[in-house]
Chains A and B, each alone.
Chain A
């Protein structure tokens, strides 16, 4: 994060660049035990840094560690994503880059402009000032986090529109964005969306996360 600075004989933490990931604390690397979390770390708007960046911190609204998304993990029992629907996850700042929330807003605004749903059970939704325009509350915009996930859901018939209108905007964000797509397996156990994505010039990586259907009661 470029937040640890060495000046003369001193090592300092640049508080504006620090994302409160807590690695320096948890790994106990300081030989003089001089690192601590100041009280301001727990006060909003700065508290959002720790909630998004330190996996040992819980988000108060979701009582979940990490960044608060269930995406495909529990879809076999929640049915959050049905047949004929896709979820798309934009992980801003990942890997190893970090992001200001100004960069997230560039995409939330575009998504809302298309009338596409931002998933409510996700911390980003709670940061929105206006659910219609996708504006993020002003006090959070300059906060920096290690990564944050915007999660959207749309009908399969809108895939090309999302690819053509939203993905090019990622070229203008001042960070990296790891992109994921949630899809159901079809009745034949196939993932036909891979061909659709490749036809739209969106390459699909060979590795994925697959919910193997062990949850009960199972939603078919």
Chain B
């Protein structure tokens, strides 16, 4: 899926943006992995995950995913992903996962230097990386940077720039708070990798007089 890879932003505003994805491999350890996934869910929850979700349920936790039902459904799943907004929580989760010896492959998305440093502190040796080489092709159709920073937090591109502009306008007009806006924007992202904490920060730092653009053309 590589859906937490191409998150757009500056080093500064990506600093507190992490996803941890644990995935059982086809033909290796996928058979009967439900119990291990439930243990990983417990670890994520006890490490202050911001959000998590389920693509096959079509809903993330912050949009009303039922935790008990979700935990049961992990018998029919092979992966589990959660979003974090603090380095210490990621470190905490990785330490617990190492101790649990579950043997399920785990990827951490975030700034390369930050993730390497966290892995080292957790006593882990990074194995493989998927690097982002940016966006190529017809870039003129892309929305402006401030919209791109928000929509790329859903790697399946389920959050439309139009929705973001509409929510930003409501926030600017003080019809809703930045926190409420972030919650509205996370609804289409069923995997739960939309980081509402980062979204709220981005929106709060946005100049009040900023005008909406349409696209780069």
Q: In the complex, given contacts A76-B127, A205-B134, what are 9 additional A-B residue pairs having Cβ atoms less than 8 angstroms apart?
A: A73-B1, A77-B29, A95-B135, A183-B129, A207-B111, A209-B4, A209-B21, A211-B129, A213-B124
A116 touches B (CB below 8 Å): no
The residues of B with any CB-CB pair to A shorter than 8 Å are 1-9, 11, 14, 17, 21-29, 55-59, 78-79, 94, 97-98, 101-113, 115-116, 119-120, 122, 124-139, 141-143, 148, 151-152, 155-161, 187-188, 190-191
Contacts of B124 in A (CB 8 A): 212-214
Contact in complex: B28, A77 (CB < 8 Å)? yes
Task: Tell which of A65, A176, A178 touches B141, judged by Cβ atoms closer than 8 Å.
Answer: A176
Q: How far is the CB of B87 from chain A (nearest CB, A)?
A: 14
Contacts of B102 in A (CB 8 A): 214
Task: Tell which of A95, A184, A207, A211 touches B106, judged by Cβ atoms closer than 8 Å.
Answer: A211
Contacts of B98 in A (CB 8 A): 214
Q: Scan A79-115; emit 1 where CB is below 8 A from any B CB, else 0.
A: 0010000000101011111000000000000000000
How many A residues have CB within 8 A of the partner chain? 74
- Distance A26 CA – B151 CA, assembled complex (angstroms): 18
Query: What residue of chain A has the Cβ atom nearest to residue B110's Cβ?
Result: A207
- Distance A184 CA – B141 CA, assembled complex (angstroms): 33
A13 touches B (CB below 8 Å): no
Tell me the residues in window 187-216 of chain A with beta carbons closer than 8 Å to chain B beta carbons: 189, 191, 193-194, 197, 202-216
Contact in complex: B138, A176 (CB < 8 Å)? yes
Contact in complex: B104, A206 (CB < 8 Å)? no
Q: How far is the CB of B136 from chain A (nearest CB, A)?
A: 4
- Name the residue among B5, B55, B110, B133 with the largest chain A CB count within 10 angstroms: B133
- Name the residue among B56, B131, B139, B191 with the largest chain A CB count within 10 angstroms: B131
